[in-house]
Chain A
Amino acid sequence: MSKFVKVSLVLAIAALVTVAAGVAAIRSTAASDTLVFGAAADPVIIDGALVSDGESLRVIDQIFEGLVGLKPGTTVIVPKLATSYAASKNGLAWTFKLRKGVKFQDGTPFNGQAVCANFDRWYSFPGPLQDQAVTYYWNTVFGGFKHPATGNPGPDKSLYKGCKALGQYTARIILSRRSSSFLGALALTNFGIASPTALKKYQADAGTVDSDGVFHPTGTFGTQNPIGTGPYKLKSWKVGDKLEIDANPTYWGAKAKLKRIIFRPIADNAARLQALQTGEIQGYDLVAPQDIATIKNSGKLKALDRPAFNVGYVGINQAIPPMNNLLVRQALAYGLDRKSVVDSFYAGRGQVADQFLPPLVVGFAKKGVPQYTFNPEKSIALLKQAGLTPPVKIEFWYPTSVSRPYMPDPSRNFQAFSASLSKAGFQVVPRSAPWRPDYLGATQSGKAQVFLLGWTGDFGDPANFLNVHFGSKTDQFGFDNPKLFDLLTRADSETNIAKRTALYQQASIQVMKFLPVVPYVHSKPALAFQKNVQGYAPSPVSLESFATVSYSS
């Protein structure tokens, strides 16, 4: 044998042996004052106003705080940087009493001027930042800009009109029309208050638009110097590798229990699970349904449920007959075996929906909701009552190449629904299309007669579910119901919380009587942690603070 061959073979074997023997017991374990969390991706930028993705918001939520927040694990609004708030009688002016003695992480005092500086910044965003893909939440909640770029909404469309600092510790926000959902929206991480000094110093809105039209920030506020009032502050961020936040020693409230949180981007689901099993991370989000059993069967790991904040529904387009007939829609509702779909395809993480609003959202109706339990005979009878001869032909659309929290496998949902409908007097013509852009295009433009779709809430307010879908005429659902539109408008503009809740409960029942959709599932996403991680409170809207989390190694 040649000497070279011998030497290299010996070297290779030696290398393998060294690896096997030498690296034993290198299991990486974090110190008990540091927690490593597996994120699905890097944040886009650490500036709440400019993002809408969950990974950015997860980090931003630790550094910034809003005027109001949510009680952990719920969608109930509680004071945060504001200690109290009240709307004027006409509902157009909201006065916030601000918390005293709060300082931003750069030492700038928190006061009325700081609040108004932030609102004015959002309202005055330059053209490239008015893009829906950048400022989605300002666009959705407030809807207009002070100096709109061509084609963008202007002050006439804006819910926000102005902000006044009344002394040091009071701020008044003026709206152009009555809206109470705006308070729920203010609890969003996107509207966290940033240090006005840092916004200016680190040029938060500076940037260039390249030849592709993409905005490229040139300031360092959102990448290196995001300064808020939160329990953590940014230590370092190396894209693709890790983002570290350290406890804020000058935090006004209860100090964070852990000294440091490290977010590691791990895109692959299986890789996140394995990293949790090895101890390289102590927790991760977006657990795949098929991994829950592995986690639960492990002695060292645990799965936490995030309360359902989504709805999967069978949409109905009333512009395409015979769907304009309520009896046919009722027949469809009775013909969908919703329970067996939820029991079979959601790995125990779904609950059958009897209305559009998830149970935790204000306005969820506890009684009076019409129930449509699977009943093929009743369905056939209703079709006959409508003057039709079963089987009634319908085009049923479902998306391909997609998995959403509310429908992990749309084709299986479709097959099961199709089978149950064929027993209930319908003849289903299957129609499928790739999720983007064909499927969404077909449903939004009103081409689809009956279709599978769903919604995950942006914020904890019923308006974000009911008004978004049924508040006005759309091509997607093809109906015109002024009574329902009016009820939803009244509910959204009601500032008295008890009255507002009652109106939304009424609206939720009305929707189920009118049946523009047949909701069938609210699914609960899961997070996974090492068993020795305590104090993490999953929130339906993913507003989760790491400040209460502790970890024993």
Chain B
Amino acid sequence: MLRFIIRRLFLLVPILVGLSILIFLWIRALPGSPAQALLGERATPAAITQIRHQYGLDKPLYVQYLRYVDTTAHGNFGTSIVSRRPVTTELRERFPATVELSVAAMLFAMSLGIPLGFLAAKRYGTIFDHVSLVGSLIGVSTPIFFLALVLKYVFAVRLGWLPSIGRQDVLLDASHPTNFYVLDGLVTGNWSAAWDATKHLILPAIALGSIPLAIIARSTRAAALDVQNEDYVRTARAKGLPPRTVDSRHIFRNAMLPVSTIIGLQTGLLLSGAVLTETVFALPGIGSWLANAIFNRDYPVIQGGILFTALVFVFVNLLVDISYGIINPRIRLS
């Protein structure tokens, strides 16, 4: 197992080098420049030249790349051209919001998706099965931003049950030692702050979790259908085990194997959905931050942000692989 983990960690090196080159070239291939983005109509040719020179954008590409690798290797992602704050500071402030949102979305997707999928398999061919199939198709095909707007309209604007923006009520006085707002509320014993932060997570989590929910439900159903026709299930039934025991020990546990991989992959993919969710719900996370940076051609933020996100993605995948080995001892991570 240890060898497997080490090998996977070493694999990170070529992935990150390749990715850094891709990001570097990609953002420089985009039309426009930070100068143009900062000055708009007022970007005179002289001002653009001056800013290009100041940011070293008039140097050969390889020189710019080497400089970027050099600073990044020292754990420094540079300074945002727009906010003039260090990229690492902004990452530290914004990452918890995205993690909190992703965890909430995944909890929502799993807690509904797994039981729904399992039930659909158990009631294969019934109305419940058909309804869950149609429901999951709708879940997969509804754009996040649309769902988000509808949720906000119903639960925030019309009913007034839930907040529509942000991570916490601005009038609430709460301290944030970790920047994970729900956790902060619990740690500091400020229950109303923890509850308020949770309320702020509900709608974004549903919006972001809708697609994984549908996918998890579908794959749980498929896996459970497969497993319940296996010989060992038939044997278990034949030897007179109660149906509940067959369901929980033999069908459910084995059906969870492929589903756990799907859950892992979906967790990584949540980051892309977070761009839209965070923008629509005004959550100060990595997604909305990167979207703004791309709009403003904020090169250091785009480079640092995407590289960091990629690292997280690769790391989550590694965790999935490891957990797969733990859940299914038959698989040897050699």
Contacts and interface: CB of A to CB of B under 8 A. Distances in A.
B165 A19 contact: no
Q: 6 tightest CB-CB pairs across the interface, nearest first?
A: A240-B284, A2-B248, A436-B32, A9-B115, A213-B55, A2-B247
B15 interface: no
B83 A44 contact: yes
Most buried by A among B86, B122, B170, B202: B170
27 contacts: A1-B122, A2-B247, A2-B251, A2-B252, A8-B115, A9-B116, A26-B163, A27-B160, A41-B292, A44-B84, A151-B50, A212-B300, A214-B80, A217-B84, A239-B90, A242-B170, A265-B282, A267-B282, A268-B282, A271-B280, A274-B153, A275-B282, A277-B157, A280-B163, A436-B37, A437-B31, A454-B41
B156 interface: yes
Nearest to A133: B38
A125 to B, nearest CB: 14
A208 B157 CA distance: 46
A445 B83 CA distance: 30
A133 B122 CA distance: 64
A262 B31 contact: no
B36 A440 contact: yes
Contact of B164 (A19, A271, A440): A271
A211 B70 contact: yes
A36 interface: yes
B154 to A, nearest CB: 11
Given A45-B84, A133-B47, A271-B152, 18 more contacts: A2-B118, A2-B247, A25-B160, A28-B163, A211-B71, A214-B81, A216-B86, A240-B289, A264-B166, A267-B288, A268-B280, A274-B153, A274-B156, A280-B166, A281-B165, A437-B36, A441-B45, A454-B41
Nearest to A441: B45
Contacts of B167: 241
A337 interface: no
Contact of B170 (A25, A132, A264, A277): A264
A31 interface: yes
Nearest to A475: B45
Interface in A120-150: 128, 131-133, 136
A246 interface: no
B114 interface: yes
A31 B171 contact: yes
A128 B54 CA distance: 8
A151 B122 CA distance: 75
B47 A132 contact: yes
Given A12-B115, A212-B299, A239-B85, A132 B292 contact: no
A23 interface: yes
B207 to A, nearest CB: 12
A214 B68 CA distance: 13
B22 interface: no
A242 to B, nearest CB: 5
Interface string A218-259: 000000000000000000000111100000000000000000
B28 interface: no
A268 B279 contact: yes
Contacts of B51: 131-133
Contact of A210 (B79, B115, B166, B170): B79
Interface of A: 1-6, 8-9, 11-12, 15, 19-20, 23-28, 30-31, 34, 36, 41-42, 44-45, 128, 131-133, 136, 151-152, 210-217, 239-242, 262, 264-268, 270-271, 274-275, 277-278, 280-281, 434, 436-438, 440-441, 444-445, 453-456
Interface in B142-170: 149, 152-153, 156-157, 159-170
Contacts of A454: 41
A278 B164 contact: yes
A209 to B, nearest CB: 8
Given A266-B165, A275-B164, A278-B160, A30 B171 contact: yes
B165 to A, nearest CB: 5
A221 B273 CA distance: 37
B130 interface: no
B164 A210 contact: no
A136 B39 contact: yes
A12 B112 contact: yes
A41 B83 CA distance: 11
B84 A274 contact: no
B41 A434 contact: no
A35 B126 CA distance: 55
B141 interface: no
A454 B41 CA distance: 8
Contacts of B234: none
Contacts of B282: 264-268, 271, 275
Given A270-B280, A274-B157, A434-B31, A212 B83 contact: no
A445 B116 CA distance: 62
Contact of B41 (A215, A239, A445, A455): A455
A1 B159 CA distance: 35
Nearest to B282: A266
Given A2-B247, A34-B171, A26 B161 contact: yes
A301 to B, nearest CB: 12
Contacts of B7: none
A471 B137 CA distance: 62
Nearest to A277: B157
B212 to A, nearest CB: 14
A436 B31 contact: yes
Nearest to B288: A267
B36 A4 contact: no
A434 B32 CA distance: 9
B292 A1 contact: no
Given A214-B79, A268-B280, A436-B37, A151 B56 contact: no
Nearest to A223: B85
A241 B284 contact: yes
B149 A270 contact: yes
Contacts of A211: 56, 67, 70-71, 78
Nearest to A21: B161
A128 B157 CA distance: 46
A2 B284 contact: no
B84 A23 contact: no
B321 interface: no
B199 interface: yes
Contacts of A274: 149, 152-153, 156-157, 164-165
B31 A136 contact: no
Nearest to A260: B171
A446 B53 CA distance: 24
A8 B168 CA distance: 28
A264 B165 contact: yes
B323 interface: no
Contact of B55 (A132, A214, A268, A440): A214
Contacts of A239: 83, 85, 90, 93, 284
B84 A132 contact: no
A454 B294 CA distance: 25
Contacts of B247: 1-2, 5
Given A30-B171, A211-B71, A271 B84 contact: no
B279 A4 contact: no
Interface in B7-56: 31-45, 47-48, 50-51, 53-56
A461 B94 CA distance: 41
A131 B50 contact: yes
Contacts of A42: 83
A290 B36 CA distance: 28
A436 B85 CA distance: 25
B47 A4 contact: no
Given A242-B170, A274-B164, A133 B35 contact: yes
B31 A438 contact: yes
B328 interface: no
Interface string B97-137: 10000000000000110111011001000000000000000
A461 to B, nearest CB: 16
A23 B33 CA distance: 46
Contacts of A31: 171
